[in-house]
Amino acid sequence: MKLILDGVFVQLTSTGIARVWSSILPRLANIRNLEITLLNRGGSPQVPGIRQFDFPSYSVNTNTADDSLLVDRVCIDLGADVFMSTYYTTPLSIPSVLLVHDMIPEVLGFNLNQRPWQEKQIAVSFASYYACVSAKTRADLINFYPAANNRAIVTHCGVERTIFYPRTESEVFSFKCKYGISRPYYITVGSRGQPQGYRNSSRFFRALRKFRDFDIDVVCIGGEPTVDPEFLRGLPQNVSVRHIILDDDDLARAYCGAESLVFPSLYEGFGLPVIEAMSCGCPVIATKFGSLEEVAGNATIAISGHNDDEIVRGIRLVRDPSIRSRLKEAGFRQATTFDWDRMVSGIFELLCKAKDEATSPAFAEFRQKWKRLRSIQAQVDTFPLAKS
């Protein structure tokens, strides 16, 4: 079976979705009788066993239909049986399997008339099958796209256990020295300023204003290059905040040395930092919104995400040795239930189903109508109507 993978997401950004694909790609490459070509739009990683095909960069706001025409032409030239995108690009005549990470724009009421979210609607409508990273994501997908009901499965993300595991005291000490950390520290991971404020970071920083009885370092890992000054306003002198960028090894060491990961998000499609922290023995303070209850189970200090005092209580609780021990043990157990190989196995099953359906009369009819509609859109994009 010949699979064309569009590496568009690596060109666009380097968030948690890119981390998911970095774990998926080597495992897909190890599947026998699966020949993979990756469309390299810029910055795609070299993966043994995956051929790269240089491809024009993607403009997320213009000429997206024309991009589909070109993707389809290349898929046909390369003899593709099935297609997957690392984001929301589509061909015209090759069956597609869509990896659905979340339904955040739909659930939180983003402006779905913006071109990127229109392209997501197109990708969902075109796909033959859907691999959803959590049961919550699957339920949300079906809520907005009921036709996906019998074609969507749950394929949980995993943990890179060769990276995210308990590190030695000397490794943690070296990490702290490297970044000048000498006090107890709490960490946040990823973006802090998402649209609609769903990452809820401001709530954590408001809670920090109430700490005056012991010293705290807050380490913001990744996300925006600076911490919003509004978050820092009003913090007591005993609370310091820094932002650092880490590779995965240092991220694992950061988890191992932290008092806790604080994750007050109001929606997650999966929540990769939570299980990575647990796999390292880092206690987690988190809400149960989105997939977090499903992913974290009972292995966190649960907060509502709407109350500063709950976060204050959680920050204090994780300093209790008996509570830390319980959270670590529960977190280890929970993290072992997530496995990348299982996820990839589920994706491969869907790829096989999509390939088998490609010659069906129903897909042939759909393909003809779809090509016509997308071709019309490409003409409109290229030759917009004159203003009156």
Among all chains, which residue has been given the structure tokens 């790829």?
A: 351
In 10 A of CB 301, how many CB atoms? Answer: 20
Please state the domain extents for the chain.
2-158+340-382, 169-335
Q: What does the pLDDT look like over 299-325, one tens digit per residue?
A: 999 999 999 999 999 999 999 999 999
Whether the per-residue pLDDT at 387 is higher than 50: the answer is no
Res. 364: pLDDT tops 50:
yes
With the C-alpha atoms ordered 211, 216, 217, 218, is the resulting torsion angle positive or negative? negative
Residue 63 carries which side chain, given as an amino acid letter?
N
Write the CA distances from 129 to 84, 176, 256, 351, 368, integer angstroms.
10, 45, 38, 8, 19
Q: What pTM was estimated for this model as a whole?
A: 0.93
- Short-list 61, 60, 50, 58, CA closest to 27: 50
Q: For residue 319, what are its two tokens?
A: 């300093």
Examine domains 2-158+340-382 and 169-335 and report if their fold is the same. Answer: yes
Class of domain 2-158+340-382: alpha beta
Describe the crossing of helices 308-317 and 201-208 by its angle, rounded to 10 degrees: 70
- Distant-in-sequence, close-in-space partners of 132: CB < 8 Å, separation ≥ 6: 100, 138, 141, 152, 153, 154, 155
pLDDT reading at 196 higher than 90: no
CATH number of 169-335: 3.40.50.2000
Provide the pLDDT for residue 388: 35
Q: How far apart are CA 243 and CA 218, in angstroms?
A: 9
- Report the percentage of the chain scoring pLDDT > 90: 83
Q: Which residues pair with 152 in a beta bridge?
A: 130
Give the model confidence (pLDDT) of 107-150 as tens digits: 999 999 998 899 999 999 999 999 999 999 999 999 999 999 99
Alpha carbon separation from 318 to 138, 239, 283, 289 (Å, rounded): 33, 17, 7, 21
Residue 343, CA atoms < 13 Å, CB-side half-sphere: 25
| Token pair of 6 as six digits | 């569009």
Work out the burial of residue 110: count CB atoms within 10 Å of its CB; fewer than 13 is exposed, 13-18 middle, 19 or more buried. Answer: middle
- The span from the first CA to the last CA of the chain, in angstroms, equals 51
